[in-house]
Structure 1
Amino acid sequence: MAAKLTTDTPGQIGLLRTANRFVLAPMSRASAYKDGTPTAAMARYYAEFAKGGFGLLIAEGAFTDDVFAQSYSNQPGLVTDAHQAGWAQVVTAVKAEGGRIILQLIHAGAVSQHVDTPHAPSAIRPKGSMLVGYGHKQGAYGIPEVLSLDDIDNVVGGFVSAAKRAERAGFDGVEIHCANGYLLDQFLTPESNTRTDKYGGDIANRLRLTCDILSEVKARATTGFLVGVRLSQAKATEPDYFWHNGLQDAGQIFDSVAAAGADFIHLASEAKGYAYHSATKSGENLTSFAKRLTGLPVIANGGLQDVSLANEILGADQADFVAVGKTALLNPDLPKRLRAGLPLRAFSYDMFKYGVTIDAQEKWTQEQTVNV
């Protein structure tokens, strides 16, 4: 196995070539203007990761319509011309540093902490409580209203329109969010989808909406614009959730998204780490299975700031890229630090003492500098 695969080996997704195998994982920062327009601070924030050597950035989830999609207050969107112009400034700043950037597209569904009446596949209350620090709503989730077939058509249209805007803003691609308990994952999950129409029942029907979105977005994208998908077993409020039938379910999911046109698969395992959730409940590795089954590039996730583990995964051909989230917040120059043999700053939840926004992080960082 070659040394330092993550930092030294170029990567390839479709026609996009990256300088290395490190990916910035998408992380919600709730730092847009009230109307969802990205800010100059967001442009500076993302440019730091490009400057710090990440081969690819995946920007935080942008909401795809102004009816039911928004997750929380100050979340960025990609619905209006102003949103598009704001994101274009982010892309320009990143590419000025030589970076590559993909935008994640997301619909909250039942777990929205922003809309008055969340809508979802079925009228089932999500487990757990709303995320602290996000949105003006807190406490237990409510029971959502059921999306009609017309509503579902509008959901597809929202993703397609947002993807076209992302391309016009200069992004290298989009990532369709079917993970962590958000809307598309709610459709996929039998506990949150009890529909009896073409979007409910067996796993093919429950995955239909995600595949429809992938195929529609891909059909309208120009050559070279990437359309990937993020999947996970765990939910934000259910960290021990596993796909019921292990490799059987995984095989159907991976095959289906590949057939729908996905250019890459990003398997999120952040809740309890790569070893725990990039495997079935009985221990079969899912990232390597996805690679073998589909031939698509696979992004692994979950504690992979550990460069030895990251290199082991890539060296064993279990994945093609490794995505790093929280540790990157304190190490926007993570690839450069690892290449130089410098230690990483350990992540601490204390950094959110003033909130989860970019401004709150900067305030905390300045405080640490003063106290050193």
Structure 2
Amino acid sequence: MTIHPVLSEVRIGALRLRNRAVVAPMSRVSTAGDGVPTDAMAEYYAEFAAGGFGLITTEGTYIDAEFSQAYPDQPGIVTERQIEAWRVVTDAVHAAGGVIALQLMHAGALVQGNRHGDRSIAPSAVQPLGVKMAAYGGEGPFAMPEAATRADIRRIVGGFGAAAERARVAGFDAVEIHGANGYLIDQFLTGYTNQRDDEYGGDPAGRVRFAVEVVRAVRTAVGPEFPVGLRLSQTKVNDFGYRWSGAGEAETIFRAAGAAGVDYLHLASEGRDWYDTAVLDSGETVTRLARSVTGLPVIANGGMHGPELARTVLEEGHADLVALGRGALANPDWPRVIAAGDRPAEFDRGMLDPVVTLAGQRSWARARRGQVSVVR
């Protein structure tokens, strides 16, 4: 039997990963409202480590006590209590043989619950499309955000750097900057949410400036050897249909990110499988274009739990690693399943419920091994 390419080692910056399987960031909103990670969260992330994943990425974690929080019960990396609680998580993951990155997130206009205030901030005062997600306690339209001033931008950029340094103190092996899915960095990248006429707006070269400044601030904060990634996407949680204008815009974004100092790019597909959003107008895939433009490792996300698709993406040079979200929830030991030549378990939509995810994932994994029955 041919060894699946996902099982081979790979390097990201200074990190040597045991395989190319990544746990994608997934919003689990499982704190007690104070942003402090719980013991259940430590068990949750450690289970992926024990299951053999090469890299585990946490849920999006807010970076300041001002505008960055998106959801009630979302974790933060702001206070000493939060830092110490994350240390429990990283210790548990390391004890299970894993490597873990903290995803740094700023909601921008897409706020559903922020314990630090009722206001939101964005590149421009533009009403977000769509409505809040009921699965995360949302209801009705998003609030109108305030347009960020240059002083706001400087403060937020510095906040990303400070949060990255706190992540290193908490024992993380890397950080991933959340520049995807419609949140603040993506709002700067997107023309209809960024209507600025200063150096942060206009064409793609102007709209990517904010992302570049964030990456540079994070790199300065953590130093040259600490791995830094950037997650990007075309689609958004509130706009599944959005696409970049073409390969030219994608190339501008990728080149700028690479030059700013990231160690990898993570290209996500919100609400769609990889094939639905991967192909640009040029016929090239966004992931392979990112690889060729930057020379950096690229993570592909979207439907990668299928062994055949994961093999195709890796063997045809579309990406260097594959990230699993729902597939990882159904199979916390997915790399071991692939190594054994078994078929991964199918995902159950009930596992998306944030209330049952942490306990439910463990029950699901045991059930797949025939140890218990799944309670729905």
- 1:133 deviates by 2.5
**Alpha-carbon displacement from aligned partner over 1:142-188 (angstroms, at most 9, x marks no partner):** 21111111111111111111100011111111111110000000011
- 1:234 deviates by 0.4
Residue identity in the other structure for 1:284: E
CA 1:237/1:370 → structure 2, altered by over 3 Å: closer, same or farther? closer
Q: Which is further off, 272-281 or 357-366?
A: 357-366
CA 1:145/1:221 → structure 2, altered by over 3 Å: closer, same or farther? same
- 1:350 deviates by 2.6
Q: Distance in 1 between matches of 2:164 and 2:375?
A: 44
> Which residue is 2:120 aligned to?
118
Residue identity in the other structure for 1:128: G
> Which residue is 1:183 aligned to?
184
- 1:281 deviates by 4.6
Q: Which is further off, 361-370 or 210-219?
A: 361-370
Residue identity in the other structure for 1:163: A
- 1:358 deviates by 2.2
- 1:3 deviates by 3.2
Q: Distance in 1 between matches of 2:178 and 2:375?
A: 39
CA 1:158/1:369 → structure 2, altered by over 3 Å: closer, same or farther? same
Q: Distance in 1 between matches of 2:286 and 2:364?
A: 37
Q: Distance in 2 between matches of 1:226 and 1:30?
A: 25
SS of the residue aligned with 1:105? strand
- 1:203 deviates by 1.2
> Which residue is 2:65 aligned to?
66
- 1:369 counterpart = 2:376: no
User: Of 123, 130, 133, which residue of structure 2 is paired with 1:131?
Assistant: 133
On the 8 A contact 1:127/1:238 being kept in 2, the answer is yes
SS of the residue aligned with 1:218? helix
Q: Distance in 1 between matches of 2:147 and 2:43?
A: 39
CA 1:91/1:123 → structure 2, altered by over 3 Å: closer, same or farther? same
> Which residue is 1:323 aligned to?
323
Q: Distance in 1 between matches of 2:155 and 2:6?
A: 40
Q: Distance in 1 between matches of 2:194 and 2:350?
A: 37
**Alpha-carbon displacement from aligned partner over 1:238-276 (angstroms, at most 9, x marks no partner):** 1111001x1100110000000100110000024211112
Q: Which is further off, 68-77 or 139-148?
A: 139-148
Residue identity in the other structure for 2:151: D
- 1:141 deviates by 1.2
On the 8 A contact 1:179/1:232 being kept in 2, the answer is yes
- 1:83 deviates by 1.0
> Which residue is 1:304 aligned to?
304
> Which residue is 2:14 aligned to?
15
Q: Distance in 2 between matches of 1:140 and 1:259?
A: 37
CA 1:219/1:371 → structure 2, altered by over 3 Å: closer, same or farther? closer
- 1:216 deviates by 1.4
Residue identity in the other structure for 2:257: V
Q: Distance in 2 between matches of 1:371 and 1:170?
A: 35
> Which residue is 1:263 aligned to?
263
On the 8 A contact 1:133/1:356 being kept in 2, the answer is no
Residue identity in the other structure for 1:200: G
SS of the residue aligned with 2:216? helix
Q: Distance in 1 between matches of 2:375 and 2:133?
A: 30
> Which residue is 2:249 aligned to?
249
Q: Distance in 2 between matches of 1:357 and 1:343?
A: 22
On the 8 A contact 1:29/1:356 being kept in 2, the answer is no
Q: Distance in 2 between matches of 1:200 and 1:78?
A: 29
**Alpha-carbon displacement from aligned partner over 1:69-96 (angstroms, at most 9, x marks no partner):** 0001110000111111111111000000
CA 1:363/1:13 → structure 2, altered by over 3 Å: closer, same or farther? closer
Residue identity in the other structure for 2:78: V
CA 1:371/1:203 → structure 2, altered by over 3 Å: closer, same or farther? closer
| Root mean square deviation of aligned Cα | 2.0
Q: Distance in 1 between matches of 2:199 and 2:181?
A: 23
SS of the residue aligned with 2:87? helix
SS of the residue aligned with 2:58? strand
On the 8 A contact 2:51/2:336 being kept in 1, the answer is yes
The normalised TM-score by structure 2 is 0.93
On the 8 A contact 1:353/1:364 being kept in 2, the answer is no
> Which residue is 1:165 aligned to?
166
The normalised TM-score by structure 1 is 0.94
The percent identity for this pair of structures is: 46
On the 8 A contact 1:354/1:364 being kept in 2, the answer is no
> Which residue is 2:273 aligned to?
273
Query: 1:1-372 alignment to 2 at 5 Å?
Result: 3-7=3-7, 9-115=8-114, 116-135=118-137, 137-244=138-245, 246-281=246-281, 283-352=283-352, 355=355, 357-359=357-359, 369=373
CA 1:34/1:285 → structure 2, altered by over 3 Å: closer, same or farther? same
Unmatched runs of 5 consecutive residues or more in structure 1: none
CA 1:20/1:159 → structure 2, altered by over 3 Å: closer, same or farther? same
Q: Distance in 2 between matches of 1:233 and 1:114?
A: 24
On the 8 A contact 1:354/1:363 being kept in 2, the answer is no
Q: Distance in 1 between matches of 2:265 and 2:25?
A: 14
SS of the residue aligned with 2:180? strand
Q: Distance in 2 between matches of 1:249 and 1:2?
A: 38
CA 1:51/1:360 → structure 2, altered by over 3 Å: closer, same or farther? closer
CA 1:83/1:213 → structure 2, altered by over 3 Å: closer, same or farther? same
Q: Distance in 2 between matches of 1:287 and 1:371?
A: 38
